[in-house]
Structure 1
Amino acid sequence: MKLFFWFLCFVFTLNVNAQNLKEKADDFYANGNFSKAIETYKSLKNLDDVYDDIAKANIAIGNYGEALVNYEKAIKANTDNLLLQYEFAKLLTKTKNYNEANRLFTNLIVSDSLNPNYYYELGVVLEKQKDTTALLQFNKTFKLDDTHQKAIFKIAKYHLMKRSFIDAHGFIDKGLESYENNVELISLKAQTYYYQEYYTHAVVWFKKLLELGEKSEFIHEKLSLSYAQNSDYEDAIYHRKQALKYNPNDANSMLVIGAYYERLSDFEKAEEYISRALKIKDQSLSDEYQNLGTVLNRQKKYEKAIKTFQKSLKEDPNNLMSEFFLLRTKDEFYADLDSKIKLYEQFIAKHKTSYFVKYAEKRLKELKQEKFLEED
Structure 2
Amino acid sequence: MRKSLLIIFILLFVKVHSQTQSNSAIADSLYATGNYAKAINQYAANNTKTGSLQIARAYNAIGNFDKAIGQYQSVVGQNPDLQIASFELGKLLVKTKAYDEARKLFANLVSKAKDNPEYYYYLGEVYAQLEQPASSLVAYKKAVENDSTHLRSIFKLAKYFVVKQEKNEALKYIAMGLNFNPDDVALINLKALTLFNDNAYDKAMPLFEKVLELGETKEYVYDKLAYCYYKNWEFEKARANYRKMLEIDDGNSETYFKLAEAYRKDKVLDSAEVYIKEAMNIQKPVFAEGYARLASIAREREDYKTALNLYKQAHKEDPSDPVLYHNICTLVDRTSKVSKVKLEYYEKYLEKYGAIKTGYASYYSTMVAKRISQLKEEIHLNAD
Please state which band the TM-score falls in when normalised by the shorter chain: 0.7 to 0.9
| Pair 258,96 (structure 1): closer, same or farther in 2 beyond 3 Å | same
User: What secondary structure, in the 3-state scheme, does the structure 2 residue paired with 1:215 have?
Assistant: coil
Give 1 or 2: higher helix fraction: 2
Give 1:288's aligned residue: 290
- Residue type of the partner of 1:184? A
1:78-117 superposed Cα distances (whole Å, 9 cap, x missing partner): 3321111011111111111111111111111221222222
Asked if the contact 1:237/1:260 (under 8 Å) is kept, the reply is yes
Q: Map 1:52-131 onto structure 2 (within 5 A).
A: 52-131=53-132
* Cα distance in structure 2, aligned partners of 1:182 and 1:130: 27
How do 1:207-222 residues align onto structure 2 when only pairs under 5 Å count? 207-222=209-224
Within 5 Å, give how 1:183-222 maps onto structure 2. Answer: 183-222=185-224
Q: Report if aligned partners of 1:123, 1:134 keep a CA contact under 8 Å in 2.
A: yes
| Native 8 Å contact 1:187 1:209 kept in 2 | yes
2:51 aligned with 1:50:
yes
Call closer, same or farther: CA 1:20–1:316 in 2, change over 3 Å.
Answer: same
Moved more, 185-194 or 5-14: 5-14
**Aligned residue pair count:** 342
- 1:40 equivalent to 2:39? Answer yes
| Matched residue type, 1:194 | F
C-alpha separation in 1, matches of 2:307 and 2:197: 38
Residue pair 1:278, 1:288 contacting (<8 A) in 2 also:
yes
CA gap of 1:228–1:310, structure 2 versus 1, over 3 A, is same
Determine what percentage of the aligned residue pairs are the same residue: 29
Contact 1:22 1:40 (C-alpha < 8 Å) held by counterparts: no
CA gap of 1:327–1:239, structure 2 versus 1, over 3 A, is same
- Mapped to 1, the partners of 2:216 and 2:98 lie a distance apart of 32
Q: Is the 8 A contact 2:292 2:311 kept in 1?
A: yes
Structure 1, residues 156-186: CA drift from partner, whole Å, max 9, x if none? 2222233221222121111111122222211
| Preserved contact between residue 304 and residue 331 of structure 2 (Cα < 8 Å) | no
Question: Residues 3 and 269 from structure 1, CA distance in 2 versus in 1: closer, same or farther, beyond 3 angstroms?
Answer: farther
Counterpart-to-counterpart distance in 2, 1:141 and 1:246: 39
Q: Retained in 2: the 8 A contact 1:119–1:138?
A: yes
For residues 341-364 of structure 1, give each alpha carbon's deviation from its aligned partner in whole angstroms, at most 9, with x where no partner exists.
xx946x755432557999xx9xxx
CA contact (8 A) 1:286 1:316 kept: yes
The structure-2 alpha-carbon separation of the partners of 1:324 and 1:23, relative to structure 1 and needing over 3 Å to count, comes to same
Local SS of the residue matching 2:46: coil
Change (3 A) 1:262 1:46: same
Q: Does 1:240 align with 2:236?
A: no
CA-based RMSD of the aligned residues comes to 3.6
What's the CA shift string for 1:290-336, capped at 9, x where partnerless? 322444677899999898566435425795467579989xx9xxxxx
Partner SS state of residue 285, structure 2? coil
Give 5+ residue unaligned stretches, structure 1.
332-342, 362-376
Paired with 1:136 and 1:300, the residues of 2 have a C-alpha distance of 60
Take 2:67 and 2:32, find their aligned partners in 1: how far apart are those partners?
20
Q: Which amino acid aligns with 1:39?
A: K
Q: In structure 1, what is the Cα distance between the partners aligned to 2:319 and 2:126?
A: 54
Q: Structure 2, unaligned stretches of length 5 or more?
A: 347-367, 376-384
Q: Give the aligned partner of residue 184 of structure 2.
A: 182
Q: 1:322-341 to 2 correspondence within 5 Å?
A: none
Q: Per the alignment, do residues 236 and 284 of structure 1 end up closer, same or farther by CA in structure 2, a change over 3 Å counting? A: closer
The CA distance in 2 between the partners of 1:256 and 1:60, in whole Å, is 48
2-structure distance, mates of 1:115, 1:344: 76
> How far is 1:247 from its partner?
3.5
Equivalent in 165, 168, 171 of residue 169 of structure 1: 171
Whether the 8 Å contact between 1:75 and 1:81 is mirrored in structure 2 is yes
> Which residue number corresponds to residue 312 of structure 1?
314
- Give the match for residue 351 of structure 1: 342
What CA distance in whole angstroms lies between the structure 1 residues aligned with 2:200 and 2:231? 10
Partner of 1:155: 157
Which of 268, 271, 276 is matched with 2:270 structurally?
A: 268
Per the normalisation by structure 2, the TM-score is 0.76
How far residue 288 of structure 1 moved from its aligned partner, in angstroms, is 1.7
CA distance 1:58–1:268, change in 2 (3 Å): farther
| CA gap 1:87/1:275 in 2 versus in 1, 3 angstroms | same
Deviation at residue 207 of structure 1 after TM alignment: 1.4
Residue type matched to 1:40 in 2? A
Which residue identity does 1:315 align to in structure 2? E
Amino acid across the alignment from 1:171:
Y
More moved, 317-326 vs 65-74 = 317-326
Asked if the contact 1:109–1:119 (Cα under 8 Å) also holds between the matched residues in 2, the reply is yes
Q: Partner amino acid for 2:254?
A: N
